[in-house]
Amino acid sequence: MNIKFVNLRRQYLSLKDEIDGALRRVIENSAFIGGEEVSRFEENFAAACGTRFCVGVGNGTDALFIALKAMGVGQGDEVATVANSYFATSEAIVMAGARPVFVDCDPVTFTMDVQKLAACLKERIEVKKKRVKAILPVHLYGRMAAMDPILDLARHYGLRVIEDCAQAHLAEYRGKKAGSLGDAGCFSFYPSKNLGAFGDAGAITTNDPVLAADMRMFANHGQASRYDHRMAGINSRLDGLQAAVLNVKLPFLLQWSKSRRTQAMLYHRLLGDIDGLLLPDIPSDGSHVMHLYVVRVQHREQVMARLAEEGIPTVVHYPTALPNLPAHADLGYTPDDFPVASLLAREVLSLPMYPELKELEIVAVCDALRFIYNEG
Ligand SMILES: Cc1ncc(COP(=O)(O)O)c(C=O)c1O
């Protein structure tokens, strides 16, 4: 059947004429950097997320880095973030010169455990007198972190909040969209994300006009206007070709999230009675945008290998909790410091999930899993 983990070609073919036409217009106008497509996307994406501003940048990692820098995070500062995410989350904190302080995740939602966050902030700020500047929650796999308690803690301690929305375009928390609750929301449009470009691309949303202007300036060589460089920034801009692709795709995003949720429900229905297979918790209110469908299995490597033999591709997001990666060895954490994230790192397995995935393909994935579990 040749099932792919993500099949980007299907989405391209479904919008081929529109995308080809949009790309051709950018090329014919030579609008490669900045231009009408970029400003139109920034305007439309801000509106979709329910924010006043959107700054297009080069990728999601830069989005995090730029937001941190524009908020003045640097050497000697700490940023509290979650132990279970893609490396870019903590990498951006290190790139800004600060120290990531990791918080374990919740075993049901897989997002930041807010009680552990409260304990962590109390210890770092009140006991150890550390300069914690910000909280960086991650809306992992398409589900938003528990933002109200996070925002309460941020207010209590006077901290900034940067949402990592790379996996959660248009996800919701109590009626509000990802990227509209914190001081800034950082998005990736990496091709396989829920809203994917044709290369690297990213954006930052915010309601704060000063922060928006600072982030835009930092991302464009620190220039306020041409050749008026106010600071050493970086070059990280959303380009015209990527913006053109994103403009074509954005109107379909809600519908694609809906398809993903329908597929998740089908997985649930077909896998619900397999003993030993733990299915993800998915709220029924449409707030989860199902970037990934992540089950938990014991003996994961064997299950993965058997699925591969049956022609079913799977991926592990992520095999090592962030604090336990070699890149963070200097921080001195052990796996025992993050029991939930360490357990998830051993057991999580992502099944194929993308809006164009067919019902028949989901049935084939589930049949293969059932067959493998029946084998024992
Ligand atoms: C949670 C998370 N944060 C940040 C990023 C970084 O985005 P990018 O690959 O566009 O730099 C990604 C995706 O790769 C991600 O999944």
> pLDDT, tens digit, for every residue of 342-363?
999 999 999 999 999 999 999 9
Q: What is the pLDDT of residue 71?
A: 98
Shared domain check, 28 and 55: yes
341 within domain boundaries: yes
Q: What is the pLDDT of residue 376?
A: 75
Domain end call among 199, 223, 251? 251
Cα-to-centroid distance, 247 and ligand 1 (Å): 20
CA 278 from chain center: how many Å?
Answer: 22
Shared domain check, 262 and 212: no
Cα-to-centroid distance, 25 and ligand 1 (Å): 29
For the chain, what is the domain count? 2
Token pair for 154 = 């941020």
Q: Is 264 in the pocket of ligand 1 (CB under 6 A)?
A: no
Q: Is 186 in the pocket of ligand 1 (CB under 6 A)?
A: no
Q: What is the pLDDT of residue 1?
A: 81
Shared domain check, 229 and 365: no
Q: What is the pLDDT of residue 375?
A: 87
324 within domain boundaries: yes
Pocket test for ligand 1, best of 86, 87, 242 (most atoms within 8 A of CB): 86
Shared domain check, 293 and 219: no
Q: Is 57 in the pocket of ligand 1 (CB under 6 A)?
A: no
79 within domain boundaries: yes
| Beta carbons within 8 Å of 273's beta carbon, 6+ residues apart | none
44 within domain boundaries: yes
Query: Within 10 Å of residue 63's Cβ, how many Cβ atoms?
Result: 34
Token pair for 25 = 């217009």
Cβ–Cβ under 8 Å, residues 173 and 147: yes
For residue 87, what is the domain's CATH number? 3.40.640.10
Measured distance CA(144)–CA(289) in Å, rounded = 9
3 within domain boundaries: no
Shared domain check, 237 and 165: yes
Q: For the chain, what's the residue count?
A: 376
Pocket test for ligand 1, best of 188, 242, 348 (most atoms within 8 A of CB): 188
Q: What is the pLDDT of residue 306?
A: 97
Measured distance CA(308)–CA(314) in Å, rounded = 8
**DSSP-assigned letters across all residues of 280-325:** PP--TTS----S-EEEE-SSHHHHHHHHHHTT---B-S-SS-GGGS
Q: Checking DSSP bridges between strand 184-188 and strand 160-164, what pairing results, if any?
A: parallel
User: Please, what is the angle between helix 253-271 and helix 359-375, to 10°?
Assistant: 30
Q: What is the pLDDT of residue 317?
A: 98
Query: Within 10 Å of residue 271's Cβ, how many Cβ atoms?
Result: 20
Minimum CA distance residue for ligand 1 atom 8? 60
Cα-to-centroid distance, 292 and ligand 1 (Å): 14
Shared domain check, 303 and 204: no
Shared domain check, 69 and 90: yes
Q: Is 263 in the pocket of ligand 1 (CB under 6 A)?
A: no
Q: What is the pLDDT of residue 19?
A: 98
Q: In degrees rounded to 5, what are phi and psi of residue 221?
A: 60, 25
Shared domain check, 261 and 124: no
Shared domain check, 282 and 217: no
Q: Is 142 in the pocket of ligand 1 (CB under 6 A)?
A: no
For residue 354, what is the domain's CATH number? 3.90.1150.10
Low-confidence ranges of the chain (pLDDT < 50): none
Range of the domain at 19: 8-251
Q: In degrees rounded to 5, what are phi and psi of residue 175?
A: 85, -5
Cα-to-centroid distance, 59 and ligand 1 (Å): 8
Q: To which residue do tokens 């897989």 refer? A: 110
Across the beta sheet with 184-188, the strand order is 53-57, 202-206, 184-188, 160-164, 131-136, 77-82, 99-103
